[in-house]
Amino acid sequence: MIPINLPLIGEEEIEAVVKVMRSGPLTSALGVGPMVTQFEKNFAAFAGVKHAVAVNTGTAALHAAVVAAGVKQGDEVILPSFTFVATAEAVVLAGGKPVFTDIDPETYNISPEAIEKNVTEKTRAIVPVDLYGFSVDIKAIKKISSEHDLAVVEDAAQAHGATYAGKPAGFFADAACWSLYASKNITTGEGGVVTTESDEVAETLRLIRTHGEKVKYASLMLGYNYRMSEIQAAIGLVQLEKLSNFVAKRRENAKKLNSLLEASNRLKLPMELEERQHSWYLYTVRLENAVGKERNKIVEELQKKGIGAVAYYVNPVHQMPYYRETYGERKLPETEKAARQVFSLPVHPGVSEAQVNYIGKTLLELL
């Protein structure tokens, strides 16, 4: 089976972990061990901002950033439903009410026009998602946020290597949240990072991740145990050095797959703009005019032939039982249509040219 994603771990990562295990420390009570501190410095440089705050998961990054943005009980937060559930979880954990908003059918990212329609007096923040690794239209979103005095917390969990107007994804947001889960473009096994230009936001994030403590046993605010371990950071330091090569290989595979699949008139291929460069975390196509379970059948057949195709996301968050029952029914036509029609194909750095050719040829034959 050619998996949809695969962590590429080499001897360098293994040696980095062994070094930490032999010399210590394994972690730091305030989250500021030498490996974590260096990783934060390097990640901030990669993101083009002053601060990076490392945490133990991407979900922790989202929750901490939403809290740091000032979201409190009863505040409304605008976000897409076409995303992994963690985006909505972070809002609910902070006490906010998720206001699920429809997508742009061309990019699968949240629609700025739909955001504008959902702003109310209770709106406190916008949480756009760089879905599949393609940057949101952040300039349009920032225009809305400026007009209504809203915080923008960008979910860049899939966007390592993506750019917007020549800057890294997340650069223009008040805070950006990154996942380092095993499937992502770089990994620490589990892990996350929040990046920000704001000194105040960074200071709040550091308090949140360590029980609200700036010094031990003196909590200044309600916090959590969101620390990243030294072992995670050691892996991250090595992976970060490899990111540009990983993304270049993903780009090469995606370009090759585009050239193969453009022969089909049934597929809408993933888009990329000169101003918005893709990270190619997921290479996602749409089966145009799909009816019934036609998309699901294609995915099943690809899997039978050893291709790890996956449909992200078959259940938009607003249709999941907990969110539907808690926040009510909501109609998001473009989201619901995409959920029935899109599926993703492997283009990660472990996919060889021969495998890309096999993926393209097999899909064309099925169609």
On whether the 243-366 domain is CATH 3.90.1150.10, my answer is yes
Of the candidates 113, 112, 147, 143, which has an alpha carbon nearest to the alpha carbon of residue 128? 112
Of the candidates 218, 136, 144, which has an alpha carbon nearest to the alpha carbon of residue 169? 136
Span 30-51, pLDDT tens digits: 999 999 999 999 999 999 999 9
Q: Where are the domains of the chain?
A: 11-239, 243-366
DSSP character string of 166-177: TEETTTTSSEEE
Span 308-339, pLDDT tens digits: 999 999 999 999 999 999 999 999 999 999 99
Of the candidates 281, 327, 285, 290, which has an alpha carbon nearest to the alpha carbon of residue 108? 285
Of the candidates 164, 209, 170, which has an alpha carbon nearest to the alpha carbon of residue 49? 170
The angle subtended at Cα 342 by Cα 340 and Cα 343, nearest 5°, is 120
User: Which CATH architecture is the domain 11-239 placed in?
Assistant: 3-Layer(aba) Sandwich (3.40)
Q: Is the pLDDT of residue 273 over 90?
A: yes
DSSP character string of 252-281: HHHHHHHHHHTT-SSEEPPP--SSEE---S
How, if at all, do strands 167-168 and 163-164 pair?
antiparallel
Span 196-255, pLDDT tens digits: 999 999 999 999 999 999 999 999 999 999 999 999 999 999 999 999 999 999 999 999
Q: What is the pLDDT of residue 291?
A: 81
